[in-house]
Amino acid sequence: MKYTIFNAIHKELGAKMVEFAGYEMPIQYPKGIIHEHNVVRQKVGVFDVSHMGEFEIKGKDALAFVQKITVNDASKLTPGKVQYSAFSLPDGGIVDDLLVYCMGDWFMLVVNGANIDKDFAWCQKNTEGFDVELNNVTDDINLLAVQGPKSLDTIQKITGVNLSDIEYYNFRHGAPAGVEMIISRTGYTGELGFELYFKGDFATAKHVWDEIFKTGAEFGIEPVGLAARDTLRLEKGYCLYGNDIDETTNTIEAGLGWITKVNKGDFNGKEVIVRTKEEGPKRKLVGFIVEVEKFIPRHNYRIFANGKEIGHVTSGNISPVLNKPIGMGYAATEFSQPGSKIEIEARGKTFPAEVIKLPFL
């Protein structure tokens, strides 16, 4: 088991800890998931996401290498910009989704915590023919996500950087609370938010944590666990690797055509992805609302329409904001249009649902 630098703080705050991606992580705090969810939607919450992986890509061919292994067009990036992207297999399957940070003449890739070893091995496997240096700096970097309508007001009080000038998917270097860090206008909640990347020992990390909570106190700041992070991203229709996307799905099926730039030159999986785009995918990732109460659509529940199996659920939960069961799943393309009536099977029964246009909020 690995531990983030904030582990002792979570325990002191009474967090329920679970194993996640090889780390002991806070799933929730004493006030519960729905409370934490609403804190982020209405005020400001802080997530420890130090389990995420960071890779440095340096060398003469850094850009060419990133272009080859990701589906988005990294040539469009300039220093201070961030891009959502994905690693693709030769057959189009998704190795992982990730963020690409343009640091000048090198790049930082931020990958999912559960995939760090797999992703780094995949990057290493693809270095043939490229003059690049790869460094896995995951263990050196602490990462806090400060998310919610009051996140900017909270962090602005401890930094001289004008946060209002940082556009979505951009970053600046600064020293909030006197600690050098990357201040990134990103997050996976759908709310205004920032992700703070910094190095340092426990004393440094605790200082940053304490300063954020001190300045955020007037805005109702609270720590938030991974369970609320999941319900927050689901309400916004964001994919979770391992649930909604994996090596058996491609970006076109998953509704990620917008990050897949087939005209940028060669990249892993391009041929299959282009063909899928031209022919049209046989299935699509859809969002749906279940039309009965107190039912949670779970991962791998089967989806039916007109008595015929047409797909499966990938993610589901009760939306704390809508107070309704919501979910995402792959359905045959003919049933992927908003308004399509489907049924979710569980325990030998079926429950009516309707496909909706994502996001839910």
Same domain for 19 and 96, yes or no, is: no
- Measure the CA dihedral 237/239/245/249, to 10°: 50
Which residue range is the domain that position 114 belongs to? Answer: 53-137
SS3 content of the chain, % helix, strand, coil (to 5): 25, 35, 40
Rounded to two decimals, what is the model's pTM?
Answer: 0.97
**Residue 271 within any structural domain of the chain:** no
How confident is the model over 121-148, as pLDDT tens digits?
999 999 999 999 999 999 999 999 999 9
- How much is the pLDDT for 151? 98
Residue 221 pLDDT > 90, yes or no?
A: yes
Residue 294 pLDDT > 90, yes or no?
A: no
How confident is the model over 320-345, as pLDDT tens digits?
999 999 999 999 999 999 999 999 99
Cβ contact 112:62 at 8 Å: no
Average pLDDT of the residues of the chain: 98
Please count the structural domains in the chain: 3
How confident is the model over 68-114, as pLDDT tens digits?
999 999 999 999 999 999 999 999 999 999 999 999 999 999 999 99
Q: HSE-up of 198 (CA within 13 Å, CB side)?
A: 29
Q: What is the CATH number of the domain that holds 332?
A: 2.40.30.110
Choose among 236, 297, 189, 224: nearest CA to 31: 224
H helix intervals, the chain: 7-12, 33-42, 62-69, 116-125, 151-156, 202-216, 226-235, 270-279
Percent of the chain with pLDDT over 70: 100
Residue 14 pLDDT > 90, yes or no?
A: yes
**Residue 267 within any structural domain of the chain:** no
Domain end residue (candidates: 94, 118, 137): 137
Cβ contact 89:288 at 8 Å: no
Using CB atoms within 10 Å of the CB of residue 180, give its burial: 0 to 12 exposed, 13 to 18 middle, 19+ buried.
exposed
My answer on whether omega of the bond before 359 falls inside 30° of 0, hence cis, is yes
Q: What is the CATH number of the domain that holds 29?
A: 3.30.1360.120
